[in-house]
Amino acid sequence: MWKTCKTWVMQVDRTVLWTSVCGELEVSMSSAIFQWWVKPCFIKEISEIGDDRVIVQLATPSAYHLKQFDERYYGQVKQALEKQLGKKCELALVVEQRGNKGQGPIENGQVAEREKFGEGTLFATSAVPTVVETKGMLQRYIFDTFVVGGSNALAYAAAKAVVEYPGNRHNPLFIYGGVGVGKTHLMQAVGHALAAKGVKRVAYLTSEQFTNDLVNSLRMKTVDSFKKKYRDVGALLIDDVQFFAGKESTQEEFFHTFNHLYMNGVQIVMTSDRKPQEIERLEERLVSRFLGGLTVDIGLPDYEMRVAILRQKSAEMRSHVPNEAINMIASNVLTNARELEGTFVRLINESYVTGGVITPELLEKVLGVKTKQESRKLRPIQIISVVAKHFEMKNKELVGTSRKADLVLARHIAIYLLRAELGLQLTKVGELFGGRDHTTIMHAAEKITSEIETDPKVRENVMKIRQALYL
């Protein structure tokens, strides 16, 4: 902590302070993010605006850098500064290159940076990314803001390889997965990276836009212009190709567009909610083309990924959310990243009513669960009854011998919850379910544990039952 006195600002060594902040941020960020977005900055000036608040003027090397830094890392850096200073601070961003005074304009898009760390001096040169207009693509959908975990690591690695070797490795790249898992984010990240690399005319659109453009060109008799528009591109990114199903004219035109681009080494990236061969009424020749490259899936985020997503969202929104609240949200919102972020945003918005304070009561209201779930108050019969009610069946049916699919699923979930919530022994659970063998009980619990990670419907059922148990 820094001492407080009348000459407090004069005692603060800006270089030492920024070195301390960088040391903290380097362990909490990925190496690429730190090296590109934080390391080139430096503290230009510090001034007091009261006994307990200061203004820190942070210099960034370019207007583009300032904009991206402000949108993504402002909150995280501000928190690190406040921790080091022991004071509240306002962070003001300015554009200025270190060591560039009197050296004239920077040439060839290069930034020369001199940064002091301890006694040594590090001299690094890095290219400033070119701002490229990419119609329809969101600026926040880039690789730096994509949280990587077990459910999307392969897709992420494939996307990075596409950027490194466009048109050569993994062409086409076909990404599939459920709603809200990050398919569009990853595809647009590829688009932004290709544009920054110098690929001209990165075209991003949905399958619906492609269809509408084709219909309009047929109506206006401008088919040649339509073909030129989509065949004279440097990369084609097309979202939700499952909506081509049943549209014969669209499939015909896309088939020829695909072939033209592929034969000319143009990178193609597509997304869908299912594998190519599972899209009904999609022509076999298109399925064959889609499977000719690399097909990767993105699954639902696991607990660690959900925590990481929430922490990143907290930094983006410049809001301080207690770890307990983040863990609570991650434990209860088990569907997809979109719903996870939606719940988080709703929590932040509703916290404004209580002066920005996130209370246990507010968490309970937003999540619909008790913040302190006391398993010891539950009895086995309660879990069995709640599960039976959820699936609209009777208790005796749930613990009975019927092998109907819906009954088996409900029974397995009840067994899983008895083990997870109460920690009952396998033999005890077996007794509750008509004397079933302990290996049968173990298999049922393990099956649901696995399906929670892979099947959104099972995950949603378990989540709703858990919420009902503690209401």
Q: What confidence score (pLDDT) does residue 242 get?
A: 92
Vertex 148 angle, CA 142 and 151, to 5°: 125
pLDDT band at 416; cut points 50, 70, 90: very high
Q: What confidence score (pLDDT) does residue 172 get?
A: 92
pLDDT, greater one: 55 or 443 = 443
DSSP notation for 17-83: HHHHHHHHHHHHS-HHHIIIIITT-EEEEEEESSSSEEEEEEEESSHHHHHHHHHHTHHHHHHHHHH
Q: At residue 119, does pLDDT exceed 50?
A: no
pLDDT, greater one: 113 or 214 = 214
Count H helices, E strands: the chain? 21, 10
Distance CA 308, CA 295 (A): 26
Mean pLDDT throughout 172-198? Answer: 91
Mean pLDDT throughout 290-314? Answer: 85
Q: In what order do the strands lie in the sheet with 202-206?
A: 202-206, 235-239, 267-272, 173-177, 294-298
Q: What confidence score (pLDDT) does residue 330 get?
A: 83
Q: At residue 453, does pLDDT exceed 70?
A: no
**8 A C-beta contact, residue 471 and residue 436:** no
Q: At residue 105, does pLDDT exceed 70?
A: no
What secondary structure letter does DSSP report for 38? I
Q: What tokens were used for 106?
A: 């920077």
Q: At residue 376, does pLDDT exceed 60?
A: no
Mean pLDDT throughout 176-185? Answer: 88
Residue type, 420: A
Please tell me whether residue 13 adopts helix, strand or coil conformation: coil
Q: What confidence score (pLDDT) does residue 313 get?
A: 82
pLDDT, greater one: 260 or 169 = 260
Distance CA 234, CA 294 (A): 19
Cis status of the peptide bond prior to 172, with omega within 30 of 0: yes
| 401 phi, psi to nearest 5 deg | -110, 0
Mean pLDDT throughout 428-434? Answer: 91
**8 A C-beta contact, residue 181 and residue 299:** yes
Q: What confidence score (pLDDT) does residue 244 get?
A: 92
Q: What confidence score (pLDDT) does residue 363 get?
A: 78
Q: What confidence score (pLDDT) does residue 117 get?
A: 27
pLDDT band at 104; cut points 50, 70, 90: very low
Mean pLDDT throughout 304-324? Answer: 81
Cβ neighbours, 10 Å, residue 328: 21
Beta-strand ranges (E) seen in 207-342 are 235-239, 267-272, 294-298
Mean pLDDT of the chain: 80
- Enter the pTM of the model: 0.56
Domains of the chain with CATH codes: 8-127 (3.30.300.180), 143-298 (3.40.50.300), 303-367 (1.10.8.60), 375-469 (1.10.1750.10)
Distance CA 372, CA 28 (A): 29
For residues 152, 156, 162, 164, the Cα torsion angle rounded to the nearest 10 degrees is: -160
Mean pLDDT throughout 394-408? Answer: 90
Distance CA 341, CA 324 (A): 16
Q: How far apart are the first and last CA of the chain?
A: 44
Distance CA 268, CA 259 (A): 10
**8 A C-beta contact, residue 298 and residue 337:** no
Place of tokens 């809001």: 319
Q: What confidence score (pLDDT) does residue 347 get?
A: 83
Instruction: Name the nearest CA neighbour of 146 among 39, 55, 33.
Output: 33
Distance CA 415, CA 424 (A): 9
High-pLDDT (> 90) share of the chain, % = 29
132: part of which helix (H) or strand (E)? Answer: none
pLDDT, greater one: 6 or 387 = 387
387: part of which helix (H) or strand (E)? Answer: helix 380-390
Distance CA 440, CA 284 (A): 42
Q: At residue 361, does pLDDT exceed 60?
A: yes
pLDDT, greater one: 106 or 163 = 163
pLDDT, greater one: 373 or 215 = 215
Distance CA 462, CA 471 (A): 15
pLDDT, greater one: 68 or 216 = 216
